Structure 1
Amino acid sequence: MSGPLLSVRDLTVTLPTARGPAMAVRGLDFDLAKGETLGIVGESGCGKSMTALALMGLLPEGAQAGGSVALGGENLLAASEKRLCDLRGNRLGMIFQEPMTSLNPLHRIGDQIAEPLLLHTDLSRRQARERAVDLLGRVGIPNPRSRLDAYPHQLSGGQRQRVMIAMALACDPDILIADEPTTALDVTIQGQILDLIRDLVEASGMALILISHDLGVIAATVDRVLVMYAGRAVEAGPVHEVFADLSHPYARGLFAAMPRLAAGGAYPRPPLPTIPGIVPDLHDLGPACAFADRCSLAEARCRAEPPPPVSSGSGSHWAACWRTEDARALPIGGAA
């Protein structure tokens, strides 16, 4: 049996700050098989986007990545910039959060979609332009040929996001990374973009890493989910198992804070539950549980020892918590 398409082991990302180095991702492990879909979820600052940028070799200046990110057995963290340029846009595609800042405002849409094709394939400029027309049609842009010479500012937010998807898909990558792909889009367009990504991934057989803070999006889109807090994975497994049997206090807190329709349309609605306390400072994190100071179940060992991953259900679902049995008894109510 062949190994995983992507294997991440002990991934760390350290950022330079005025107070010294801060570790934004700490010891992250996961595998991704061909055709598999993985969701990474957590609140802002938990390390989701830094993980994506580390996989792409696009970390901010001064940041350092450690561990191993193996794509087909090749460690990307040890690869040269030239080698990473060969892989980005070719075997690795990425949809960034905000297309208006990711698309070049000085270049026409057709040229930007054609660029990875000219870099990574033998297509002529004319052939790449025709391929760009096909890609725009594939992602649902009406009258795609007439849009080739448009500039980003001449398109709506949803159209710009579709252009970003077309660029990411241009060379049929093995892995598509979508980092908050529906940020700043209205609900109707969000649904269209997510349906499009899901359909394209299923049709092509590529693997998907979807990064989001929206648990509903994750539940409807991916096979497996990984919950992050303060740079670490705290719970992971098949999405239906994890959401049916949340075993980490932080994951349960996230679900409790999801807005829900009041029963029978009752008004006024009760306030949403919140997770007490604040996200810990990345400079002050030790090896023990980073969630301990915000957790109602925390005890002495939670602040002294790193919690082990505890298996649940089929065995592929686990949570890093000393008190998983007690955590499962915590209420998940929201504004129900």
Structure 2
Amino acid sequence: MEPRQSSPASPLLEVSGLGIELDTHRGPARAVRDVGFSLAQGETLGLIGESGSGKSLTAMALMGLLPQGARTQGSVRLAGQELLTLSDAQMCRIRGQRIGMIFQEPMTALNPVHTIGAQVAEPLRLHKGLSARHAREAALELLHRVGIPQPAQRIDAYPHQFSGGQRQRITIAMALACQPDLLIADEPTTALDVTVQQQILDLIADLVDERGMSLILISHDLGVISQNVDRMLVMYGGMVVESGSTEQVFQHMAHPYTRGLLAARPHMASAGGAHKARLSTIAGTVPELADLPEGCPFAGRCGFTADPCWSERPAAREPQAGHRVRCLREEAMAAAPPGLAGAQA
């Protein structure tokens, strides 16, 4: 599936200077730091990084679903409306109606004691004011559209009576019920086998195209991102370390972490044959929030770490128009073979 061309329309979503501070057992910690991006109507954006990089927390800030006690700064504007200052009641009117979300684990997103028909119909009754009969009819159409077999016979079934892939299709129907402007898909294929993963990704892409929605796709898989979004943000330690069009980033990876992620991907050629190379890895592990350095969050794990990396926050620069990167060791990394940057054999 080829990435779609981005829309020239004015931004639907504008995020600037987004910061999120959480209370941890070791005190306050900055979980997201100075994140900014914009998204036009009909455009697709990928957020990629390891667990703990801040991807899902950024998405939760857009939805107004941050953990209790979380503190935010910066701005999140949807069609010009500031979201970070809205009350819970006001955000409830945004969620589902203007912004839909597909969660990575459908069994936790679905209520086990309610039928799937009731759950898909609920946002239609809540946000659109439909009667029970009309909401049920609309839910039936949605279940048919997302590929649930025999929806008329299964609309009164419960979540445990469906396979993992079917449950994810049901959560997609719920997210799309009110035809939101923005769809957030948070690791939507994590618990699915490879064949079902592609079916779900194809379904999301088709629905986004069909309804003209904007999409934020969150993943740790570079392959998923490369095939499904127009632009991408690479996140590490709560910071965007590289961003640009998908084509730009993959052709000119300018940050050690981005290169490390690519080098760590398994390749078919290494799965068999006379020569079996060891899979490259990124040294170390993602540090706890309280242990992130003041400077570059990747300092220490990066093979190009120098003293300034620990204390000096890298400024964003543009090696080419629209392609931004935060790295103090640009020259040293550019001179190294691509497979060595940020990874170890």
TM over 0.5: yes
Q: Which of 260, 275, 292 is the matching residue for 2:282?
A: 275
1:172 Cα deviation (Å)? 0.4
How many residue pairs get matched? 335
1:199 Cα deviation (Å)? 0.7
Percent of pairs identical after alignment? 59
Contact 1:261 1:335 in 2 (8 A): no
The answer to whether the aligner puts 1:182 opposite 2:185 as a matched pair is: no
The answer to whether the aligner puts 1:295 opposite 2:323 as a matched pair is: no
In structure 2, relative to structure 1, the CA distance for the partners of 1:205 and 1:131 (3 Å cut) is same
Q: CA RMSD in A?
A: 1.8
Equivalence for 1:307: 314
Q: Which of 150, 153, 165 is the matching residue for 1:146?
A: 153
In structure 2, relative to structure 1, the CA distance for the partners of 1:328 and 1:261 (3 Å cut) is farther
Distance in 2, matches of 1:267 and 1:97, equals 38
Task: Give the 3-state SS of the residue equivalent to 1:5 in structure 2.
Answer: strand
Contact 2:31 2:289 in 1 (8 A): yes
Contact 2:282 2:344 in 1 (8 A): no
Equivalence for 2:329: 323
* Greater shift in the superposed pair: 213-222 or 68-77: 68-77
Q: Which of 120, 123, 132 is the matching residue for 2:127?
A: 120
Task: Give the 3-state SS of the residue equivalent to 2:267 in structure 1.
Answer: coil
- Give unpaired runs (5+ residues) of structure 1: none
Distance in 2, matches of 1:61 and 1:264, equals 45
1:264 Cα deviation (Å)? 9.4
Equivalence for 1:17: 24
Task: Give the 3-state SS of the residue equivalent to 1:45 in structure 2.
Answer: coil
Per-residue CA shift, 1:122-143, capped at 9, x if unaligned?
3211111010011011111111
1:21 Cα deviation (Å)? 1.2
Q: State the AA in 1 paired with 2:182.
A: I
Distance in 1, matches of 2:25 and 2:125, equals 41
| Superposition TM-score, scaled by structure 2 size | 0.93
Equivalence for 1:239: 246
Runs of 4+ in 1 over 3 A off after TM superposition: 328-336
Distance in 1, matches of 2:254 and 2:196, equals 33
Equivalence for 2:144: 137
1:303 Cα deviation (Å)? 2.1
Task: Give the 3-state SS of the residue equivalent to 1:220 in structure 2.
Answer: helix
Contact 1:15 1:63 in 2 (8 A): yes
Task: Give the 3-state SS of the residue equivalent to 1:136 in structure 2.
Answer: helix
* Greater shift in the superposed pair: 55-64 or 127-136: 55-64
The answer to whether the aligner puts 1:209 opposite 2:216 as a matched pair is: yes
Task: Give the 3-state SS of the residue equivalent to 2:300 in structure 1.
Answer: helix
1:281 Cα deviation (Å)? 2.5
Task: Give the 3-state SS of the residue equivalent to 1:78 in structure 2.
Answer: coil
Equivalence for 1:250: 257
Equivalence for 2:69: 62
1:335 Cα deviation (Å)? 12
* Greater shift in the superposed pair: 261-270 or 48-57: 261-270
Distance in 2, matches of 1:91 and 1:294, equals 39
Distance in 1, matches of 2:76 and 2:287, equals 27
Distance in 2, matches of 1:64 and 1:208, equals 25
The answer to whether the aligner puts 1:42 opposite 2:49 as a matched pair is: yes
Per-residue CA shift, 1:167-222, capped at 9, x if unaligned?
00000000000000001100000000000001110111100000000110000000
Contact 2:45 2:229 in 1 (8 A): yes
1:329 Cα deviation (Å)? 4.0
Contact 2:293 2:299 in 1 (8 A): no
The answer to whether the aligner puts 1:173 opposite 2:180 as a matched pair is: yes
Contact 1:249 1:330 in 2 (8 A): no
Per-residue CA shift, 1:65-89, capped at 9, x if unaligned?
2211111111111001111010100
Equivalence for 2:100: 93
* Greater shift in the superposed pair: 210-219 or 140-149: 140-149
In structure 2, relative to structure 1, the CA distance for the partners of 1:205 and 1:325 (3 Å cut) is farther
* Greater shift in the superposed pair: 252-261 or 303-312: 303-312
| Superposition TM-score, scaled by structure 1 size | 0.95
Distance in 1, matches of 2:29 and 2:270, equals 44
Contact 1:259 1:335 in 2 (8 A): no
Task: Give the 3-state SS of the residue equivalent to 1:84 in structure 2.
Answer: helix
Distance in 1, matches of 2:45 and 2:283, equals 28
Contact 1:110 1:129 in 2 (8 A): yes
